[in-house]
Structure 1
Amino acid sequence: MLKTLLAAVLAVTPMALPPPTGAALIGTVSVHLVDRSRPDPWVAGEPARELMAQIWYPARSVRGHRRADWVSPGVAARINPPDSGYALPVTHGYVGAPPARGWHPVILYSPGLGMERTAGTALVEDLVSHGYVVVTIDHTHDANLVEFPDGRLAEAAIPPPASPEEERALLDKILGVRVADTRFVLDELRGLPLAKAMDLSRVGMFGHSMGGAATAQTMAADRRVRAGINLDGTFLGPVEETGLDRPFLMLGSDTHGDEQDETWVRMWDRLRGARYWLELEGSAHLSFSDFQVLLHQAGLPAEQTEPMIGAIDGERSVAVQRAYVRAFFDRHLRHRDGRLLDRPSPRYPEINHLP
C-alpha cells in the first residue's frame, strides 16, 4: 500500500510540507546505531540490530548549511527515479546546523507499520520550532526502506502471517522489537555529541498506528518516558492489561479512534495518570502522517483519497494536530498550562473530547 501512496504523491510537483509555526531554527542529523546485544529479529544472518535515527533540534544558526531532504538519497532514488520529472519535498531542517544554547526536552517518534522515520515530519518540525529535540526512529526491516551511511538499503522483511493466530503473534513480535529499538536509541542518546542540547530528564514519545502502540508499551517498560501520545493506533501488548500511571493522549480519527476500536475503550479505563481522548472530525487513519498534505497536493479525486486521509483539508488537519500535540507536551514536559486539552475550543471545532 505504501508504494501505491508514494506513487500518488509523485503525481504532482512540487510537493511541500507546511512551514513550522515556532520561532526556532531547525537543525537535523542522521545517526547510525548498532545494538550488538541482539541479532536482527527479521533477517537471519544479521548478527547485530542496525538502526537509523534522525535528531531534529533547535539551531543557533543555519548559515552555510543545506536544507534536509524529506527522505535519504537512496530511498528517494527507489521511490522517485531521476527520469520521473517529479520532486519530493524538502524539509525545513538544515543538515548539521549548530544547536541552539540550552537544554531542551526530548521527544521520541515511532512511525506506522511499513513507514519510515520521515512519515511524521510535519509534526516533528513544528515541535522543534517550539523548542523541543525530537528523535525519529527507523525500525529496520519493518520500514519499507532504510538507508545506511554506506549506501546499503534495508528492505521490509516481516513475513506475512498465514492465520489469525499467526497474525496476533506477529504483531506482538513487531511491538516487542519496536520497544527494544526505542529503548536502545534512548540509551544511546547520552553518548552523542548533541546530548548537550538534550534534557533527558524530560522525555516524551509519540507515534502513529503501530508507533502509537509502541509508545504505550515503551512507557510501560521504561519509566524514563514521562508522557506519550497514540495517534490512531490500536493498542497491543501487556500494557492493555497493566495500563499506565503517567500522562497519555489518545488522538484518533473518526473512523478508528472511538468505540469502533475496543482497545481504546479498554485502555481508557486503565490510564491512571492524566488522560485525554480526542477525535479529529473528518480524518482517517493516514491523516496522522505527512500523506495528509502530500496526497491533497497530488490533486487526486476525493473518492481515492478520503478512505486514506478523510475529507478534512490537509493543511487544516496538520494545524489542528500540531496545536494539540504541542499543548500536551507543553503541559507534561514543561509544566505549562495546556488548557487546550481540557475542553472544546472554538478555535478548533474539529476536535471532539471523548468519552
Structure 2
Amino acid sequence: MPEMWRKRVGALGAALALTLVAAVPASAAPSVVTTAPGISTVTGIRLSLPAPSGPLPVGTVPVRLVDRSRPDPWVKGRPYRELMVSVWYPAARAPGRPVSSHLPPLVAADLDATSAPALLGVRPGQVDWAATRTHARLDAPVRPRAGGYPVVLYSPGYMVPRSLGTLAAEDLASRGYVVVTVDHTYEASAVEFPGGRLERARVRADSTADAMKALDVRVADLRFVLDVVTARHTGLPSSLRRALDTTRVAALGFSMGGAATARLMYADHRVKAGVNLDGSLFGEVTERGLDGPFLQLAADRDDPSWETFRKQRRGWKRDLRLAGAEHYSFTDLQALVPRISSGLGTPSEIVGTVDPVRSIAAQRAYVAAFLDLQLKGRETRLFDRPSPAFPEVGFLG
C-alpha cells in the first residue's frame, strides 16, 4: 500500500467527522419556526448546494440493487450483496415533482444524533441536516434522446457516503450523462434502505486489512452495477434502461473510489474511460498500466504512485494538479465546509486554500471536457496546455 494512501486511511477516523459534514449544504441561513405572534425559535442552520452548470434539468431516483451471485463480504451468513445507488439523469421539466434531498432522512438523523455531536462538536438540532435539497427532481421523466445518454459510474472515498458526490453527479447529468452513484454498504458511514432501515459501517477507519478488502469489494460492487446498467441484471426502472447508451461507459471516483476506478477499468473493458480524483493507486494496475484514456486530478501534493502509474499507461493520459486544494476539495465539501466554517466555526483545512467557486468550476470543466472527448467525440484544447481560464490547474509529468 502506498504511504500516501496509508496516511489518508489512517487519518480517516478523525477526518470522517468532517467528511460527514457533506450532508450540510452551503448558504448559512437559520431556519425559523414561528411559535406565537412575534416569537420565533431558531431550529437549526439551513444551507444549500450550488447549482449544476449544464443546460439540462436533472432528475434522480434511488434504487436498491441485490447481487445474489455472491455473499456479503461484511456480514457473515448473508448469501447476497445489497447496495443502494442513486441514478442522476437529464430530465424533462417536471415542476410538480419534489426536489430530492441531499441526504436521506435516516442518515441525516443519524448524523445529527451521533457523528455531529461526537466528532464535530455540533449539538443536536444546531444544524438542520435534513433540510438540504439538491437541484434534481425525484422520479422526474427522463428527457428523451435518440440513442440514449453515456453512462458514468461514481464511487466515493473510503467510509464516505455517495451523497458527497452529488455536485459531480448533478453537473454531469445537466450536461447529458446518466450518472450512477454507489454506496458501498457496510463500508459507507451509513446507508439508508427502503422501509426505514439504516446500515452503518462495519469497517475500521484505521485498519489496513479492512481498507484493502474494501477495495476488492468495491471493484466487485462496481462490476455488478455495470451488469445492471448493461441489462445483464434487472434492477433499474425501464424508462431509465431505455435512456442508456451502454456502449459509452466511464467511471469516476474520489480517493479509494479513484483507485477502484483504475482497477475496474483494468478488469472490465466495458469501461471506456476513467477519472481518478486524488486517489492513491497500487497493485497490478499500477505496474501494468492501462490502454484506455485516463484522467487524474490531484490535490496540492505529490503522490509517488501516480508517477509509476503514469509511466505504464499507454492510452490517452493527463495528470493535473489543483493548486491550493486538499484531499476533500474533490467532494461536495469543497462547497460546503468554507460556509460551514463561517457559520459554525468548523475548521476548513480539509478543503485547502483554493477558492471554492473556482475549484468547483475547474473540476467541472476538466472532467466534463475529458468525458465529452472520450465518450462523445467532442474535441477540446483544454488538455493541450495550461489554460488562462483556470490558472489554478497545472500539468504533471
For normalisation by structure 1, the TM-score amounts to 0.92
Cα distance in 2, alignment partners of residues 161 and 130 from structure 1: 38
1:23, distance to aligned residue in structure 2 (A): 1.0
Other-structure match for 2:365? 323
Say which of 221, 235, 250 aligns to 1:181: 221
Say which of 74, 82, 87 aligns to 1:50: 82
Cα distance in 2, alignment partners of residues 108 and 18 from structure 1: 22
1:76, distance to aligned residue in structure 2 (A): 1.1
1:5, distance to aligned residue in structure 2 (A): 4.4
The DSSP-based 3-state class of the residue aligned with 1:176 is helix
Percent identity, aligned pairs only? 48
Say which of 304, 315, 321 aligns to 1:279: 321
Mapped contact 2:20–2:160 kept (Cα < 8 A): no
Residue 30 of structure 1 pairs with residue 62 of structure 2: yes
Pairs within 5 Å for 1:104-253: 104-159=149-204, 167=208, 169-189=209-229, 190=231, 191=234, 192=236, 193=238, 194-253=240-299
- Aligned residue pairs total 345
1:248, distance to aligned residue in structure 2 (A): 0.2
1:99, distance to aligned residue in structure 2 (A): 0.1
Other-structure match for 2:100? 68
Cα distance in 2, alignment partners of residues 86 and 327 from structure 1: 36
1:171, distance to aligned residue in structure 2 (A): 3.2
1:10, distance to aligned residue in structure 2 (A): 5.2
Higher Rg: 2
Other-structure match for 1:270? 312
Cα distance in 2, alignment partners of residues 298 and 160 from structure 1: 24
Tell me the alpha carbon deviations over residues 81-126 of structure 1, each in whole angstroms, 9 at most, x when there is no partner. Answer: 5844524421011100000111100000000001111111111111
Cα distance in 2, alignment partners of residues 148 and 289 from structure 1: 23
Mapped contact 1:234–1:263 kept (Cα < 8 A): yes
Other-structure match for 1:78? 110
Mapped contact 1:24–1:131 kept (Cα < 8 A): yes
For normalisation by structure 2, the TM-score amounts to 0.83
Other-structure match for 1:18? 50
Other-structure match for 1:3? 17
Mapped contact 1:55–1:134 kept (Cα < 8 A): yes
The DSSP-based 3-state class of the residue aligned with 1:299 is helix
Other-structure match for 1:348? 390
Other-structure match for 1:93? 136
User: Structure 1 residues 7 and 272 mapped into 2: Cα distance closer, same or farther (>3 Å)?
Assistant: closer
Stretch moving more, 8-17 or 84-93: 8-17
Mapped contact 1:8–1:298 kept (Cα < 8 A): no
Cα distance in 2, alignment partners of residues 24 and 341 from structure 1: 25
The DSSP-based 3-state class of the residue aligned with 2:265 is helix
Cα distance in 2, alignment partners of residues 224 and 183 from structure 1: 10
User: Structure 1 residues 209 and 71 mapped into 2: Cα distance closer, same or farther (>3 Å)?
Assistant: same
1:224 is matched by which residue type in structure 2? R
1:178 is matched by which residue type in structure 2? R
Q: Structure 1 stretches (4+) deviating beyond 6 angstroms?
A: none
Q: Over aligned residue pairs, what C-alpha RMSD do you find?
A: 2.0
User: Structure 1 residues 304 and 247 mapped into 2: Cα distance closer, same or farther (>3 Å)?
Assistant: same
Cα distance in 2, alignment partners of residues 83 and 354 from structure 1: 45
1:160, distance to aligned residue in structure 2 (A): 5.8
Tell me the alpha carbon deviations over residues 292-342 of structure 1, each in whole angstroms, 9 at most, x when there is no partner. Answer: 111011134999312x11001212211110000000000000010122122
Cα distance in 2, alignment partners of residues 211 and 8 from structure 1: 17
2:263 is matched by which residue type in structure 1? Q
Cα distance in 2, alignment partners of residues 291 and 262 from structure 1: 25
Cα distance in 2, alignment partners of residues 303 and 161 from structure 1: 23
